[in-house]
């Protein structure tokens, strides 16, 4: 009888291991080595630093008990994530829709104990400034007009909020995780607009910089719920370069200058063991026979259609746990056909 070959231990240089579980010797984030000399930034972190809670978002994305066995880990993916961590460079993740690109950011944040992921969803109307901050000049002017007898203007920080992109570059000892979701939906200029920010690790807020002779420190709102931060001299400057995961469905090419500043990785479709782990992570566990049959059927349909998003499998499994698989009889094939219909097909 042949014994199953035991997986080799992960390489010593891996900080992120891809299993979804932190190591026994403490937070992996505490093992992050110093950056290359050309990726050292001058931001000064606060004396006290709190890891922002994610309020259940990671559990919704990954499941409450997302774990992978070492043998199921994609070693190339983990290599690229660790290279991005060491080099303090953004990771550009490409692949078909629904292949788990966005989930990578949440897996990194959970395993490294980095707290809430800041997600910046991209549309054709997204601009760099909108991702960095928003200043409500009209609201402040109206507040001034509402109290003409007052000699004091309302604090400018009450009307300025950092966006997800701006918040992630606040100075911290341990980096935050930023998900730039579907960058290929942006206007052509946005990837180039990001270059200076990725190189310099800082940006200027002109509305605050103009008043630095009167007020050097301004407390502003952040993209975190009820979050605030102090901006000095109108400049936000990171101390630890953030963990930046950029996703793309491959619908367009990016400028060479942008690609040079990123590490690139293409996702693979999950295999049957990884799909089973995802199902278990969401506590969707019909009896083993039904679960295995549905997963095999999903893989077959996904291959025929050129790829189906994993959430469609989770929806089918959820219906199976509710009794649909056993009770619907001949209706089950029609039900899964409606769930797994080829995404680019026209529904009659």
pLDDT, one tens digit per residue, over 276-309 is 777 776 666 655 667 778 888 888 887 777 777 7
3-class SS at 219?
A: strand
Sheet holding 91-94, edge to edge: 118-121, 177-181, 243-248, 91-94, 263-266
pLDDT given at position 23:
59
Check whether residue 220 and residue 237 sit in a common domain.
yes
Q: 149 is written with which tokens?
A: 């007898």
Instruction: Examine residue 70 and state whether it is found in any structural domain, yes or no.
Output: yes
- To the nearest whole number, what is the mean pLDDT of the chain? 84
By C-alpha distance, which of 60, 182, 159, 58 is closest to 109?
Answer: 58
Q: 254 is written with which tokens?
A: 């990016």
Cα(194)–Cα(54) distance, rounded to whole angstroms? 26
Check whether residue 257 and residue 118 sit in a common domain.
yes
Check whether residue 232 and residue 321 sit in a common domain.
no
Cα(263)–Cα(260) distance, rounded to whole angstroms? 8
Sign of CA dihedral 164, 180, 138, 218: positive
Of 244, 266, 288, which closes a domain? 266
Specify the CATH number for the domain of residue 182: 3.40.50.300
pLDDT given at position 1:
42
Check whether residue 66 and residue 89 sit in a common domain.
yes
Q: How confident is the model at residue 348 (pLDDT cuts 50, 70, 90)?
A: very low
How many domains does the chain contain in total? 2
pLDDT given at position 70:
65
- Residue 237: strand pairing partners: 202
Q: Rank 43-47, 180-184, 319-323 by mean pLDDT and report only the highest.
A: 180-184
Q: 241 is written with which tokens?
A: 């370069």
Where helices occur in the chain by DSSP H, the ranges are 57-62, 75-87, 103-112, 128-132, 137-146, 164-168, 190-193, 195-200, 206-209, 256-260, 272-281, 288-305, 310-321, 324-327, 331-339
Q: How confident is the model at residue 347 (pLDDT cuts 50, 70, 90)?
A: very low
Check whether residue 205 and residue 297 sit in a common domain.
no
Check whether residue 48 and residue 140 sit in a common domain.
yes
Check whether residue 237 and residue 290 sit in a common domain.
no
By residue range, what is the domain housing residue 227?
Answer: 28-266
pLDDT given at position 172:
93
């Amino acid at each position: 009888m042949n014994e199953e070959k035991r997986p080799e231990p992960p390489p010593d240089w891996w900080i992120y291991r891809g299993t979804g579980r932190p190591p026994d010797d403490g937070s992996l984030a505490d093992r992050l080595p110093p950056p290359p000399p050309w990726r050292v930034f001058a931001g000064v972190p606060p004396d006290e630093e709190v890891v922002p809670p994610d309020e259940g978002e990671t559990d919704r994305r990954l499941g409450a008990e997302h774990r992978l066995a070492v043998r199921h880990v994609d070693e190339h993916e983990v290599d690229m994530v660790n290279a991005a961590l060491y080099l303090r460079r953004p990771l550009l993740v490409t692949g078909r829709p629904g292949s788990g690109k966005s989930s990578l950011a949440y897996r990194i944040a959970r395993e490294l104990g980095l707290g809430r992921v800041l997600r910046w969803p991209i549309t054709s109307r997204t601009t760099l400034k909108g991702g960095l901050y928003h200043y409500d000049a009209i609201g402040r002017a109206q507040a001034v007009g509402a109290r003409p007898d007052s000699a004091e203007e309302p604090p400018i920080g009450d009307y300025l909020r950092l966006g997800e992109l701006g918040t992630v570059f606040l100075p911290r000892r341990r980096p935050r995780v930023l998900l730039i979701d579907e960058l290929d939906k942006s206007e052509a200029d946005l990837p180039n607009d990001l270059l200076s920010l990725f190189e310099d690790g800082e940006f200027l807020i002109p509305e605050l910089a103009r008043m630095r002779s009167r007020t050097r420190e301004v407390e502003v709102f952040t993209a975190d719920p009820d979050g605030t931060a102090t901006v000095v001299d109108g400049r936000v400057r990171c101390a630890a370069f953030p963990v930046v995961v950029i996703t793309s469905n491959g619908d367009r090419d990016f400028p060479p200058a942008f690609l040079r500043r990123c590490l690139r990785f293409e996702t693979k479709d999950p295999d049957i063991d990884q799909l089973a782990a995802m199902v278990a992570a969401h506590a969707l566990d019909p009896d083993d026979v039904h679960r295995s049959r549905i997963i095999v059927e999903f893989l077959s349909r996904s291959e025929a259609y050129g790829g189906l998003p994993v959430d469609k499998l989770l929806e089918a499994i959820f219906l199976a746990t509710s009794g649909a698989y056993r009770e619907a009889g001949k209706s089950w094939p029609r039900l899964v056909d409606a769930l797994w219909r080829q995404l680019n097909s026209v529904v009659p």
